[in-house]
Amino acid sequence: MNKDKDNKNFHIPDDYFEGFTDRLLDKISMLDSGQEGSALPKSDGFKVPNGYFENLNDKLNVRISKKNVKVVSLWSNKTFYMVAASVAAILVFVLGVQLTKAEQFTFEELAENDFETYFESHGLGLSTYEIAEVIPVDDLEITDILDIHLNNEIIIDYLDDNIDSYEELNLTDYEY
Amino acid sequence: MIAEETLVSELKQLETQAKAFEVLVDTYKERLYWHIRRIVLNHDDTDDVLQNTFIKVYKNIGNFKGDSKLFSWMYRIATNESLSFLKKKSHKLGISTLEMQERMVGNLKADVYFEGDEIQLKLQNAIATLPEKQKLVFNMKYFEEMKYEEISEVLSTSVGGLKASYHLAVKKIEAHIKEH
């Protein structure tokens, strides 16, 4: 009998029959171990290099003994304090000379355009949110910022042109 | 096997410390290795994390109060070390932890220390999609066959919560494997 004649419309994966016995045996052992119905393999497929666990203790000992070795600093504490004291003395001297030379201004003496020039060249260094936090918004009117006077008609025309369903805004009735 | 209390007290004394540490490493190295390996997947990374874990144990054994078992305490250190290793690695690569997990699983095919077949690879792919806690619970229960009480001590989660996490993890993994 030609076996292929009857099955010509059916296809099977390559190597299906080669691995069939192993898969069947795996299935049987799974049934025996009570994992019936589970499609999950019990092993994860990871392996370790040969002799890895035997050498682990030695590797750890090397790392621990390295950590225990004391490092003697080239700079002793005494030298460090002497250098620090010298640097501090020089700084105090230089700053002292600079401060006595500098002219002292009071806050009142600074002109308004000095502030403007400073902010123009340095920037405020504040984000818009930070500015909004310090400006008393309650005391402001919209006309303080905008020169154009907005009347109701202008606002309604704008909304009519820019919002798809102006009627749905329910400007008078609030639904909660 | 040496009793845990004896081992801890020997680890805390300078004269017996070195010998006791060797015993400690020999006792727990394999269990901790596999626990870490299933989180970081690659052998070299596991080696680094395992060594760091044991060094942390060595340095901090003085702070071990004995409120939990030594084994749970070490498992906790190993888990934290593994997770922070993954976070550092993903931060260095500028990608999310999830993206990195997918990459790590993708690298398994070429890993000489991975000899899993198609279904084992699918399983790792499915595990990588789980949230961190479910992944840990699944690995500890399914592969390491730990009791819920032991996992509860390591992860500081109630046994009920762990059972729910494990159940969810298995369902998700099975669904993922069926889909792919």
pLDDT in tens, B115-131: 888 889 999 999 999 99
Residues A72-106 as b/e (b if ≥16 CB within 10 A, e otherwise) read: eeeeeeeeeeeeeeeeeeeeeeeeeeeeeeeeeee
pLDDT of B7 strictly over 80: yes
Query: Are A47 and B51 inside 8 Å of each other by CB?
Result: no
| Sequence-ordered list of residues with C-beta below 8 angstroms from that of B121, at least 6 positions apart, any chain | A45, B105, B108, B109
Residue B137 C-alpha, separation from nearest chain A C-alpha, in angstroms:
15
Most confident of A35-39, A92-96, A165-169: A92-96
Say if CB B28 and CB B74 are below 8 A apart: yes
Which of B30, B123, B177 is nearest residue A53 as measured by Cβ atoms?
Answer: B30
Q: How confident is the model at residue A159 (pLDDT cuts 50, 70, 90)?
A: confident
Res A125: pLDDT: 67
The whole-angstrom separation of Cα B31 and Cα B88 is 24
B33 contact residues in A (CB cutoff 8 A) = 48, 53
Quick check: A41 contacting B, CB < 8 Å? yes
The whole-angstrom separation of Cα A105 and Cα A111 is 11
The whole-angstrom separation of Cα B41 and Cα B31 is 15
**Cross-strand pairs, B114:** A46
Best of B120, B135, B144, B170 to substitute, by most chain A Cβ atoms within 10 angstroms, is B120
Res B123: pLDDT: 93
Token pair of A171, please? 């400007």
% of chain B beyond a pLDDT of 90? 74
**pTM tops 0.80, yes or no:** no
pLDDT of B90 strictly over 60: yes
pLDDT of B30 strictly over 90: yes
Residue B31 C-alpha, separation from nearest chain A C-alpha, in angstroms:
11
Which of B33, B55, B116 is nearest residue A64 as measured by Cβ atoms?
Answer: B55
The larger pLDDT score, comparing residue A72 to residue A60, is at: A60
Q: How far is CA B96 from the centre of its chain?
A: 20
Res A14: pLDDT: 74
The whole-angstrom separation of Cα A95 and Cα B146 is 68
pLDDT of A153 strictly over 90: no
pLDDT of A1 strictly over 60: no
Angle subtended at Cα B118 by Cα B101 and Cα B132, rounded to the nearest 5 degrees: 25
Amino acid identity of residue B88, one-letter, is K
The larger pLDDT score, comparing residue A36 to residue A105, is at: A105
B22 contact residues in A (CB cutoff 8 A) = 57
Of the candidates B46, B48, B53, the residue with the CA atom closest to the CA atom of residue B24: B53
Q: Percent helix, strand and coil across chain B, each rounded to 5?
A: 80, 0, 20
**Cross-strand pairs, A46:** B114
Amino acid identity of residue A100, one-letter, is T
The whole-angstrom separation of Cα A41 and Cα A76 is 62
Q: Which of residues 70-99 of B touch A (CB under 8 A)?
A: none
Q: How far is CA B89 from the centre of its chain?
A: 17
B49-72 mean pLDDT: 91
Residue B177 is inside which H or E element, if any?
helix B159-179
Beta strands in B41-150 (DSSP E): none
Query: Are A63 and B177 inside 8 Å of each other by CB?
Result: no
pLDDT of B108 strictly over 70: yes
Closest residue of chain B to A35, computed from CA coordinates: B142
Closest residue of chain B to A42, computed from CA coordinates: B143
pLDDT of A176 strictly over 50: no
Res B89: pLDDT: 92
Which of A44, A60, A64 is nearest residue B120 as measured by Cβ atoms?
Answer: A44
pLDDT of A57 strictly over 80: yes
Say what the ipTM of the complex is. Answer: 0.83
Supply the mean pLDDT for chain A.
71
Res A175: pLDDT: 46
Quick check: B69 contacting A, CB < 8 Å? no
